[in-house]
Structure 1
């Protein structure tokens, strides 16, 4: 499948953000010169990225903001309808907005996020509303899996989000290549089954023994958009 052309009717900044999202997702953060992003976005100015965003980091921050505000807003709407104590629905409300992005052929945000996570790119410019949403999610899930000792509880919540990101990014790539994939309903149901099982399964004797000697109370975990 060929790469997307710039969309008609978008501002120059929007064209640059969407083009950079796609190019970084496909070629990596270090594989795309800023001039190429401007060229493929249809900009006549060779320094369009610097003009609108100041730097590569400014552009990356703009790509994150372009999607994360809508993700946070949709999560809040879904969370408002979750029954008290329903772990599966809590996880679904947080992860479904991310899963939905894999169904949009022209959205490369999931693969872009994979690049950021893989290269340990700083995510400290995420809005406070998103950070608050992430903390609330950890607290809500953590309260429902109190039989899992810390620090495994936080590790599992973080790993569940990472699993969801990578599986959905892979689904997006497969769909764009024309591969046959499960229906969206099956994909979502099975993925939620996997995430909930991963969260609630009691730790093995081996893991429990390793935890007792680890000396780590709460590991440092990166926020995921």
Structure 2
């Protein structure tokens, strides 16, 4: 009778198994998400230019100081990834509202297409969020991704909402329309950033529905305002 133990079942310790490809992918995705959230929070509090990738890795709980480079890339890549993670759902919500609003004669409807998807998105984020403060920095700092922020799905969708809105005030001079567009952008982005900052430090959630309503009415007032004519009411004689 053959008594060679090698033919029976092994009772010794089995070698450690390495995680499969799908598990490694899930772990990498989790680490990447943690890095994006940590970066967004630090950028919002301290400013984008003041935060290093090493600080982001430490805040995300990574033992590897070069985790950002491994999982995301450069600081520019990190910022783009943060913006993309928000821009895509905002664009989807905006597109849905634009489709429902098509053909409406009411200027408020088109303003709502621009404002409400953004405030609704902010309302859905985990608290405290830092995105509104990050985007407000990006669009006002020429060293950041100002032009690339909107050259995306969100940028295309914004143009779809702007075009019918401007068509309703087409009799205004081009310079006036461009200036009002600047006012609209700054009003929405910086008001939301201030509301987010206040909610963060007070630990009282922002009322994004109220913020949206106020912004829509305020933007409508800016767009429909009739400037005083030289020599007319409101000008020096």
| TM-score, length-scaled by structure 2 | 0.76
1:70 corresponds to 2:70: no
2:174 to 147, 150, 155: 150
Counterpart residue number, 1:112: 134
Matches of 2:206 and 2:84 in 1, distance apart? 30
1:122 corresponds to 2:145: yes
Counterparts of residues 156-195 of structure 1 (less than 5 Å): 156-178=180-202, 183-195=207-219
Counterpart residue number, 2:8: none
Q: Which protein has the larger Cα radius of gyration, Structure 1 or Structure 2?
A: 2
Q: Please, which moves more after superposition, 114-123 or 33-42?
A: 114-123
Give a deviation string over 1:18-65, Cα, whole Å, max 9, x none.
111111111011111111100111112110111122211111111110
Matches of 2:156 and 2:55 in 1, distance apart? 36
| Equivalent pair of 1:19/1:41 in contact (CA under 8 Å) | yes
User: What is the CA-CA distance between 1:16 and the residue it aligns to?
Assistant: 0.7
Matches of 1:62 and 1:123 in 2, distance apart? 14
Change (3 A) 1:181 1:19: closer
| TM-score, length-scaled by structure 1 | 0.79
- Aligned residue pairs total 200
Secondary structure of the 2:100 match is: coil
Secondary structure of the 2:70 match is: helix
Q: Please, which moves more after superposition, 135-144 or 72-81?
A: 135-144
| Equivalent pair of 2:110/2:162 in contact (CA under 8 Å) | no
Change (3 A) 1:93 1:37: same
Change (3 A) 1:125 1:181: closer
Secondary structure of the 1:142 match is: helix
* Unmatched runs of 5 consecutive residues or more in structure 2: 1-27, 233-237
Q: Which has the higher contact order (CA 8 A, sep 6+)?
A: 1
1:97 corresponds to 2:117: yes
Matches of 2:189 and 2:99 in 1, distance apart? 23
* Unmatched runs of 5 consecutive residues or more in structure 1: 1-8, 209-225
User: What is the CA-CA distance between 1:102 and the residue it aligns to?
Assistant: 4.2
Secondary structure of the 2:136 match is: helix
